[in-house]
Amino acid sequence: MALFDEMLAGDQVRPPYSRVKAWLDAQNPASLAQKARDAENVFRKTGITFAVYGDADAAERLIPFDIVPRIISGNEWNRLSLGIEQRVMALNAFLDDIYHRQEIVRAGIVPKHLIAHNDAFLPEMIDFRTPGNVYTHIIGVDIVRTGENQFYVLEDNARTPSGVSYMLENREMMMQLFPELFQQVKVRPVETYPQMLRQSLAAVCPPGGNGDNPTIAVLTPGIHNSAYYEHSFLADQMGVHLVEGSDLQVIDDRVAMRTTEGFRPIDVLYRRVDDAFLDPLTFRPDSVLGVAGIMDVYRAGNITIANAPGTGIADDKAIYSYMPEIVEFYTGRKALLENVPTWRCGEADSLKYVLDHLDELVVKEVHGSGGYGMLVGPCASKADIRGQPAAERLRVRREKSAPLLAAIKAWMTDKLATLSKKSELAKAIRYSHNQWEALMLYCEEGRAEISNALAENALRCVSPGRKNFLFAGSDSGGERAAAMYGLIGTCKLNGINPRACLEYVLTHIADHPINRIDELLPWNVAKKLPRQPDPAPSPA
């Protein structure tokens, strides 16, 4: 499928880009390249960076700056705005519903186990009315474009969405570098965002606060957080206080911040700290990022927390797959913005499709947030997945596979309660439960392969009959043969010649320390041997 070209439609320039294309054609390419470098230098000196957790290459990155702006026409923006507003209203209604009557669950639209078994669903928020009945004061809706007037929602970020400051800085840099472009093209302003955000936060001041001039603060985890630049930027642009957990204290049923004049009560707290770290008395007791007792103050109605705790359930990857139904349930209209095509791996047919098309898809962890816990199929070869050290394979399996298996088990448990004991599906589920420890072994032992059929598949071509399986002559001989075939199969999976691997192991094993025997396993030996192309599959 051809990719959508933002600027060109065949040989013609798309109307929104007509003036920009003419301006670009008149520019000196070397001058444009130099200005792009100038922008990066300014960002670097100013510290306009963000961190990528788990990225081994760099602790921080510069914000991306494209010298060619992306243009959304006024008509397209109006359509997007309507779709986003509809979606945000539905998400807020969904949160209010699941923490109260759970009508969407009663209606059978969203399965109960997706909520009840989700760590992002906070029992502490049940039956609590948020100030102004608002849960999601700020939402980051990720949009992708596939064609003319074809926009899709990639995901909803309802916890602590990040990134708006980088957009604002990008626009400011563009205006400084190319003022003449903004004189030629009418562009809607974005610099009013911080004041609009402040007005939105002030509008949800709790009843006991100073409604005329509420005290607002941004709660940051600190300078080592990936988005600290944004926290400080927004606090500065809004003209509000930037605080850390150590600056705050609960005094007389209010959350107060330490100032040079003593403690001052806060009315609205724009928190950029995750739920688990918000209150050590309610959530993680080891947290030093939040405020001890803030949840009691919140439930007493003496402070507004934006976004509300527990909003993460709304951007769960599994809940996302139900968003078209959620939007229609709460708004009475079809969703104006579609989801990207999504398959629920808890459903047998969908799981089969995903496994058969893994190299075309992105697999996301059900309870993950943002970009965590993803497997990008087109960028992850089987060799990349299999050829990792045992510790790394175990980490990835626990991060990606274990949550999926837990969700499958939860679904089976719920399903079993609705089935006749004599049904074939009930028998299959009970069998899976009885074998669950064995099924989960590869999530507990990084040296184990996901499939235990490597040796069996290798044997089939030479042992077609049941009696021939005894060809080894004894039980111990069969065990040794199985181990040998398993080793050979693992060598093939890691793209190395089995004979070369065995020769290397037999040459070095006599002098190798027994407590470092893992170093002689195929995926470690592979680094010392030339790779061979993947072999053709053996006949079944």
Question: Which stretches in the chain have pLDDT values below 50?
Answer: 1, 54-58, 459-471, 534-540
For residue 524, the model assigns a pLDDT of: 83
Regarding beta strands 49-51 and 12-13, do their DSSP bridges make them parallel or antiparallel, or are they unpaired? Answer: unpaired
Q: Look at residue 474 and give its three-state secondary structure.
A: coil
H or E segment to which residue 294 belongs: helix 294-299
Q: Any residues with CB less than 8 A from the CB of 24 and at least 6 apart, and which?
A: 32, 68
For residue 473, the model assigns a pLDDT of: 54
User: Is residue 291 within 8 Å of residue 249, measured between CB atoms?
Assistant: yes
d(CA 325, CA 107): 11
Q: What is the pTM of this model?
A: 0.71
**Helical residues (DSSP H) of 134-288, grouped into ranges:** 164-177, 179-184, 193-202, 228-238
Long-range contact set of residues 253-261: C-beta below 8 Å, sequence gap at least 24: 253/296, 253/297, 253/300, 253/302, 254/297, 254/302, 254/303, 255/291, 255/294, 255/297, 255/302, 255/303, 257/217
235 exposure class (CB count in 10 Å sphere: 0-12, 13-18, 19+): buried
Q: What domains does the chain contain, in order, with CATH numbers?
A: 192-306 (3.40.50.11290), 348-443 (no CATH), 454-528 (no CATH)
Nearest to 359 by CA among 342, 370, 375: 375
Q: Look at residue 53 and give its three-state secondary structure.
A: coil
> In the chain, what's the furthest Cα-to-Cα distance?
89
CA dihedral of residues 161, 167, 168, 170 (deg, nearest 10): 150
User: Is residue 280 within 8 Å of residue 331, measured between CB atoms?
Assistant: no
Nearest to 115 by CA among 136, 95, 139: 95
The owner of tokens 């599994």 is 318
Q: What residue type is 438 in one-letter code?
A: A
For residue 245, the model assigns a pLDDT of: 96
Q: Look at residue 393 and give its three-state secondary structure.
A: helix
Structure token pair of residue 414 = 């719920």
For residue 370, the model assigns a pLDDT of: 59
34 exposure class (CB count in 10 Å sphere: 0-12, 13-18, 19+): exposed
For residue 295, the model assigns a pLDDT of: 98
Beta bridge partners of 248: 257
For residue 493, the model assigns a pLDDT of: 75
d(CA 74, CA 84): 15
* Separation in Å, CA 370 to CA 84, 140, 163: 18, 10, 12
Q: What are phi and psi of 98, to 5 degrees?
A: -70, -20
